[in-house]
Amino acid sequence: MLKVIKADLAIIRERDPAARGLLEILLCYPGFQALALHRISHLLWRVEFPLLPRFLSQVTRALTGIEIHPGARIGKGVFIDHGMGVVIGETAEIGNRCLLYQGVTLGGTGKDHGKRHPTLAENVVVGAGAKVLGAITVGANTRIGAGSVVVRDVEADSTVVGIPGRVVHQSGVRINPLAHSALPDTEANVIRNLMERIDLLESQVSLLQHSLQDIHGNKISKKLFSGEAQSLKDKEIIEFIGDDRDS
């Protein structure tokens, strides 16, 4: 357990420039405190004495604002930054070096017993307020944008945004877990795409009106179209609204 706690301390010093010393982390980082207490409650949970670890998890919630069920399995070097309002369910699994921000929920769906909460592979970043729901798997090195709701499996090296969460980028390039500004603005790209199409259609309507005037005036008709119309199945639009035809 000491090795795991050391890894939790090391990841905070690595990823948080505000962390100035060991004592500050021990006293002032609720994410670290919640994880340290969870390590203890999880050990008690594994020996099948559920009442005491559940009570300890509720004490942790009161002290830190972070609720972690003692049955959740959490790897080494996990960082819950700020952490207020974070909820992690009983059968959730979190891989090594994952980063969770405030308001994140790793929740279950339905009332069935067994696996009903998500599994995060290594180095997953879950943005503030994001919800990952159900017995799904999120692949390694994936970023989930703030406020997203993820209800389907996500492959490794992906970027997920939106409600419901959509994969808007996927590559094998290692990501910087703190680079939230690097998330693509998919909605803006789609709006820009649609506005360009409107401009094109308006110009074509105007050209058709002039052509009709030329025909009635016994003049030579101008060229009716200038440029190719954009398809409703453009890649950016599919990525934003999804394509569920095969589901």
- Return residue ranges of the chain for CATH 2.160.10.10: 2-181
Distance CA 196, CA 120 (A): 39
Whole-number pLDDT of residue 112: 72
The upper half-sphere exposure of residue 126, i.e. CA atoms within 13 Å in the direction of its Cβ, equals: 36
Following DSSP, what letter does each residue of 114-179 receive, concatenated? S--S-EE-TT-EE-TT-EEESS-EE-TT-EE-TT-EE-S-B-SSEEEETTTTEEEEE-SSPP-TT-
Whole-number pLDDT of residue 175: 52
Is 9 in a helix, a strand, or coil? helix
> In the chain, what is the straight-line distance between the N-terminal and C-terminal CA atoms, in Å?
43
Alpha carbon of 143 to those of 6, 213, 229: distances in Å?
25, 55, 34
Is 217 in a helix, a strand, or coil? coil
Residues 205-212 have a mean pLDDT of 79
Residues 6+ apart with CB under 8 A from 134: 107, 108, 109, 116, 117, 118, 151
List the CATH code of the domain at 2-181: 2.160.10.10
Is pLDDT above 60 for 202?
yes
- Which helix H or strand E contains 8, and what residues bound it? helix 2-15
Tell me phi and psi for residue 224, to 5 degrees. -75, -35
Question: Taken in order 149, 151, 157, 159, is the CA torsion positive or negative?
Answer: negative
Is pLDDT above 70 for 62?
yes
**pTM for the predicted model, two decimal places:** 0.67
Characterise 75 by phi-psi region: left (phi > 0), alpha (psi -120 to 50), beta (else). beta
Is pLDDT above 80 for 244?
no
Whole-number pLDDT of residue 94: 93
Whole-number pLDDT of residue 50: 78
- Could you report the per-residue pLDDT of 85-106, keeping only the tens digit for each? 999 998 999 999 999 999 999 9
Whole-number pLDDT of residue 106: 93
Query: Which range is least confidently modeled, 5-9, 159-163, 218-222?
Result: 218-222
Is pLDDT above 90 for 26?
no
Residues 205-221 have a mean pLDDT of 70
Which is more confident, 110 or 178?
Answer: 110
Which is more confident, 168 or 153?
Answer: 153
Q: Which two tokens stand for residue 23?
A: 């004592």
Is pLDDT above 60 for 241?
no
Work out the pLDDT band at 227, boundaries 50, 70, 90. very low
The owner of tokens 């819950």 is 80
